[in-house]
Structure 1
Amino acid sequence: MPKPGILKSKSMFCVIYRSSKRDQTYLYVEKKDDFSRVPEELMKGFGQPQLAMILPLDGRKKLVNADIEKVKQALTEQGYYLQLPPPPEDLLKQHLSVMGQKTDDTNK
């Protein structure tokens, strides 16, 4: 029985692994070294998982490139969450967009 004043937390944790094959690709699972719910094909493409960190999903720490609620939902429903790298910046497209706006502004 817990001592008075001590709340038992049902905080959800996840274990985050870095891909050995794909840069900026991370796999979140519920338990350390338990990839039983991760599809075999995904594991082949992911390579040897490299432990990055263990993280509580209680909202105290923000995830940089993932929505914490989506991570929790994926862990509950499918047993893993795969974080892919953000799309590369298209600097040429950004430049042309800015130049187009400047041209439009000068024609008014």
Structure 2
Amino acid sequence: MHCDIYKFPKHDDMYIYIARPDYPDDTDEIKDWLGVLPKDFRAGLGRSKFVMHLDLGSTATLARVDKAEVLEKLNSQGYFVQLPPQDVMRRQAELRALESQDSIYD
């Protein structure tokens, strides 16, 4: 299974894998690969940045996620969301809370 990986500047350390089951035969026309994402979810992501193309068949393991889980999600829904580690998510939430408190006094 081939996939493309994207990141989103508004969401540190979150990556979205998009299935490319027909690669390389799916490159004849320009396509919105992120169109498989639910509209509400995609709208909250902001601008995407392409990270890399990956052939999961030739990749033994992935850094932060279980390869079998990624493959299952790519096959069933066409995408997989890799969330940041818990400590990063906690730090981001704390920073957002501080920013919202600071903006009260502006």
Taking structure 1 as the reference length, the TM-score comes to: 0.65
The aligned runs of 1:1-108 (5 Å cut-off) are: 12-31=1-20, 33-88=32-87
SS in 1 for 2:34: coil
SS in 2 for 1:72: helix
Higher RCO, 1 or 2 (CA under 8 Å, sep at least 6)?
A: 2
Query: How far is the alpha carbon of 1:61 from its aligned partner?
Result: 4.1
In 1, the alpha carbon distance for the partners of 2:59 and 2:76 equals 22
**Greater shift after overlay, 13-22 or 54-63?**
54-63
In 2, the alpha carbon distance for the partners of 1:63 and 1:33 equals 25
1:29·1:35 contact (CA, 8 Å) conserved in 2?
A: yes
* Letter aligned with residue 82 of structure 1: V
In 2, the alpha carbon distance for the partners of 1:62 and 1:56 equals 11
Q: Give unpaired runs (5+ residues) of structure 1.
A: 1-11, 91-108
Q: Give unpaired runs (5+ residues) of structure 2.
A: 21-30, 91-106
Query: How far is the alpha carbon of 1:34 from its aligned partner?
Result: 0.9
Structure 1 or 2, whichever has the larger Rg, is 1
SS in 1 for 2:41: helix
Greater share of strand residues, 1 or 2?
Answer: 2
In 1, the alpha carbon distance for the partners of 2:32 and 2:49 equals 10
Q: Percent identity?
A: 34
